[in-house]
Copies of this chain bind each other. A is one copy, B any other.
Amino acid sequence: TNAFKIATIPGDGIGREVVPEGMRVLEAVGRKFDIAFQFDEVDWSCDVFKKTGKMMPDDGLERFKQHDAVFLGAVGWPDVPDHVSLWGLLIPIRRTFHQYVNLRPCRLLKGTTSPLAGRGRADIDFYVVRENVEGEYSEAGGRLYRGMEDEIAIQEAIFTRRGVDRVMRYAFELARTRERKRVTSATKSNGIVHTMPFWDERFKAVKADYPDIETNQFHIDILCAHFVQHPDWFDVVVGSNLFGDILSDLGPAVAGSIGIAPSANINPEGDFPSMFEPVHGSAPDIAGQGIANPIGQIWSAAMMLDHLGHPQAAQAVIEAIETVIADTASRTKDMGGKANTKECGEAIASVI
């Protein structure tokens, strides 16, 4: 297909500044590759919550069920608690739309540098595949003796065979499309004694179906150390919701791309829309100034194009980003340039 209905949720803070640049680039690439986008924008955000008491209308997600994708900026603002903003908007989208894979590339774009000494593009090129709907992110749990000396807080992490197997299979399928064909499992079965041994058992069972893929596994503590010491060891890394969350910030950090990293919340079966969002948040410290770097949002647009079946258009976006990064004048301040958000977005669109 060449015509797509995209739900856009700019959200809070710099989300509202970078989403328009992502749309600008999508329009530009659409003109070039003959792809039409219908953007349906909503104002769901902490601002709206403060007026209405809701992060989104009750039937909010119902409206977008038939859309092709969700394009999101950032959710969260200091004066609204996270359990309201994130658990009222971001997490429900991931769960309602069964986006059980969170995919994040960890690699250097041309013109960017890694904080690791002597490491460049050839050394750091892997994906983190994060379980995105169950595990440690669970509403099960609570408090005893609230507010008293003896206070206790309990959190349950819940892993299902179906939930674990499907994200692992996604990781193996992804590895099949890559050159090195290696899947690394993040575990902690020596310390987290119920769920992590289960995770290991399922990894063993699932990998039996992929004899063409090389595998290994590390405990999360040493795995984080290896990301720093040996980023070249990794190809596809699969982890639980929490471990994947940690690794998919650490991975872009070692690649020097944490400020511009994209992410895809994927429903692999395509029964529901997938969602694309930058890794950065709403950045209250710089919001409203028009100086935010839009590359994370634009790179997320490239991941969306890929997902929608237009890899060439995706590639054109990546190359345009790289061209603009090479040119100091079009970079934003965080990258040592002087361009504002819009100028940077326009530069990328015009390269396309």
Q: Which residues of A contact B (CB under 8 A)?
A: 76, 82-83, 86-87, 114-118, 136-139, 141-143, 148-162, 188-199, 220-222, 224-226, 228-229, 241-242, 245-246, 248-250, 252-254, 258
Residues of B within 8 A of A192 (CB): 136-137, 155, 242
Q: Which residue of B lies closest to A196 (CB)?
A: B155
Q: Which residue of B lies closest to A149 (CB)?
A: B161
Contact (Cβ within 8 A) B228 A87:
no
Residues of B within 8 A of A117 (CB): 114-118
- Known pairs A156-B157, A225-B250, A228-B228 / 9 extra A-B pairs, C-beta < 8 Å: A117-B117, A141-B193, A143-B194, A152-B158, A154-B159, A224-B246, A224-B253, A225-B249, A228-B253
Partner of A224 from B148, B194, B224 at Cβ < 8 Å: B224
Contact (Cβ within 8 A) A249 B229:
no
Contact (Cβ within 8 A) A229 B253:
yes
Contact (Cβ within 8 A) A198 B143:
yes
- Whether A137 contacts B194 in the complex (CB less than 8 A), given A152-B160, A159-B153, A224-B249, comes out as no
Residues of B within 8 A of A229 (CB): 115, 253, 258
Contact (Cβ within 8 A) A157 B160:
no
Contact (Cβ within 8 A) A221 B248:
yes
Q: Which residue of B lies closest to A189 (CB)?
A: B82
Residues of B within 8 A of A188 (CB): 242, 245
Residues of B within 8 A of A86 (CB): 190-191
Residues of B within 8 A of A138 (CB): 193
CA distance A193 to B162 in the complex (A): 23
Contact (Cβ within 8 A) B198 A151:
yes
CA distance A193 to B156 in the complex (A): 10
CA distance A160 to B146 in the complex (A): 11
Contact (Cβ within 8 A) A246 B221:
yes
Contact (Cβ within 8 A) A160 B155:
no
Q: Which residue of B lies closest to A91 (CB)?
A: B191
Min CB–CB distance A68 → chain B (angstroms): 28
CA distance A228 to B155 in the complex (A): 29
Contact (Cβ within 8 A) A225 B242:
no
Partner of A228 from B193, B198, B220, B254 at Cβ < 8 Å: B254
CA distance A154 to B197 in the complex (A): 11
17 contacts between A and B (CB under 8 A): A86-B191, A115-B117, A115-B228, A117-B118, A148-B161, A150-B160, A151-B161, A152-B158, A152-B160, A155-B156, A155-B159, A156-B157, A157-B157, A221-B248, A225-B253, A226-B253, A228-B253
- Whether A158 contacts B151 in the complex (CB less than 8 A), given A192-B137, A246-B224, A254-B228, comes out as no
Min CB–CB distance A144 → chain B (angstroms): 9
Residues of B within 8 A of A258 (CB): 225, 229
Partner of A82 from B149, B151, B162, B190 at Cβ < 8 Å: B190
Min CB–CB distance A86 → chain B (angstroms): 5
CA distance A115 to B114 in the complex (A): 11
Residues of B within 8 A of A194 (CB): 141-143, 153-155
Min CB–CB distance A62 → chain B (angstroms): 25
- Whether A153 contacts B250 in the complex (CB less than 8 A), given A115-B116, A115-B117, A225-B258, comes out as no
